[in-house]
């Protein structure tokens, strides 16, 4: 799918972006792989790991998704775009709402406009569980972003660009996640727990990248892809990281949920279930295609009445032993594991 093509990733120096670049360089031979981000230091550091000399297809391009003109220049002759740029820290968004809106909402609109202007083939945007029934500003801005990309199918008019969204839960060990925080606090002998009932969805960086590649290969426009991933109790994670540490309850922070929701009951009415993922598609014709026995991508089935995909009722739960194995798995710079979602190319 990506061989001989030009691929651009916004927010390319983040945790997801670095893993995306690593996997694409290992599995494909793109004509160009453009890392687009606003931080020159992170680009410099990333270029020491993925050098242009070793990977001539790589391009490092400074820019911000708030700058529509810069995006149009960056998207020139680009075939595929993965939009991963965002301000995602919940407390920072609460105290700096305008900045979060400029990047997550207006930036999304700029990405859509630049993709249409440059006739990009496909765009896949990264979402978050916090966009489903949002209770904080970050989630609200990502919900707006999701709606913009879903509506872009109509907004594009007669142009060919396809827009889709991928939504998943917490990425294990990513920058700002609870694992590095707990690992640092182990030294104190006390791990702070916001609420002992709290549960979370989990996905590894490699699984997240492979799932995005799957969506990029199969999307037809307007879909919201949600992977089937395990849940875990935060107390079990704390036990796996610091089995001898005291777990001290400190209370839920503003804007934090007790349990995560990836598909709400209202969204489920438009959702189609597959073996390893769900697709929320509000367009009736395309949703019917997902249910067609002749669908080359596999046959889905409608979700049951009143279905919700929530972390505390998820049938797939990771226990302490599972989490200990996962921690070993990600310890070596988030090593690539075999994906649950093979990025099979849709021949159409």
Nearest to 174 by CA among 48, 41, 15: 15
d(CA 53, CA 45): 15
d(CA 208, CA 231): 15
Q: Give the CB-side neighbour count of residue 286, counting CA atoms within 13 A.
A: 18
Is residue 301 part of the annotated active site? The answer reads: no
Nearest to 318 by CA among 178, 201, 169: 201
Residue pair 303/273 in contact by the 8 Å Cβ criterion? yes
- List Cα–Cα distances, 179 to 72, 215, 237, 342, in angstroms: 37, 27, 8, 27
C-alpha radius of gyration, the chain, whole number: 20
Q: Which residue in 19, 130, 228, 257 is the catalytic one?
A: 130
Which tokens hold the place of 295?
């669908």
Residue pair 236/318 in contact by the 8 Å Cβ criterion? yes
d(CA 300, CA 274): 5
- List Cα–Cα distances, 58 to 47, 75, 126, 208, in angstroms: 9, 15, 22, 21
Number of helices followed by number of strands (H, E) in the chain:
13, 18
Angle between the N-to-C axes of helices 178-185 and 234-241, in degrees from 0 to 180, rounded to the nearest 10:
50
Residue with tokens 């911000």: 64
**Residue length, the chain?**
348
Q: Phi and psi dihedrals of 301, rounded to 5?
A: -140, 150
d(CA 107, CA 104): 5
The residues assigned a catalytic role are 130
């Amino acid at each position: 799918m990506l061989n001989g093509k030009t691929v651009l990733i916004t927010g390319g120096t983040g945790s997801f972006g670095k893993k995306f670049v690593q996997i694409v360089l290992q599995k494909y031979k793109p004509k160009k792989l453009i890392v687009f981000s606003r931080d020159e230091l992170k680009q410099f550091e990333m270029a020491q790991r993925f050098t242009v000399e070793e990977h001539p297809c790589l391009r490092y391009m400074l820019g911000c998704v708030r700058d529509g003109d810069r995006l149009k220049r960056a998207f020139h002759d680009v075939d595929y775009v993965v939009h991963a740029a965002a301000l995602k820290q919940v407390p920072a968004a609460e105290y700096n709402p305008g900045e979060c809106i400029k990047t997550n909402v207006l930036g999304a609109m700029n990405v859509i406009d630049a993709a249409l202007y440059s006739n990009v083939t496909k765009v896949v945007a990264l979402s978050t569980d916090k966009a489903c029934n949002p209770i904080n500003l970050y989630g609200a801005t990502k919900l707006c972003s999701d709606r913009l990309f879903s509506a872009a199918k109509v907004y594009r008019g007669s142009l060919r660009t396809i827009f889709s969204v991928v939504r998943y839960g917490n990425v294990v060990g990513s920058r700002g996640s609870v694992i590095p925080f707990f690992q640092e606090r182990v030294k104190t002998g006390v791990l702070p727990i916001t609420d002992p009932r709290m549960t979370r969805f989990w996905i590894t960086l490699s699984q997240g990248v492979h799932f995005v590649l799957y969506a990029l290969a199969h999307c037809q426009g307007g879909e919201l892809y949600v992977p089937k991933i395990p849940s875990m109790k935060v107390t079990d994670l704390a036990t796996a990281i610091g089995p001898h540490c005291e777990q001290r309850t400190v209370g839920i922070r503003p804007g934090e949920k007790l349990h995560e929701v990836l598909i709400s009951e209202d969204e489920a009415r438009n959702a189609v279930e597959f073996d390893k993922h769900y697709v929320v598609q509000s367009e009736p014709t395309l949703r019917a295609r997902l249910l067609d026995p002749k669908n080359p991508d596999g046959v889905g089935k409608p979700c049951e009445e009143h279905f919700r995909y929530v972390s505390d009722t998820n049938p797939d739960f990771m226990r302490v032993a599972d989490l200990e194995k996962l921690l070993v798995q990600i310890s070596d710079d988030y090593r690539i594991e075999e994906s649950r979602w093979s990025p099979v190319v849709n021949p159409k």
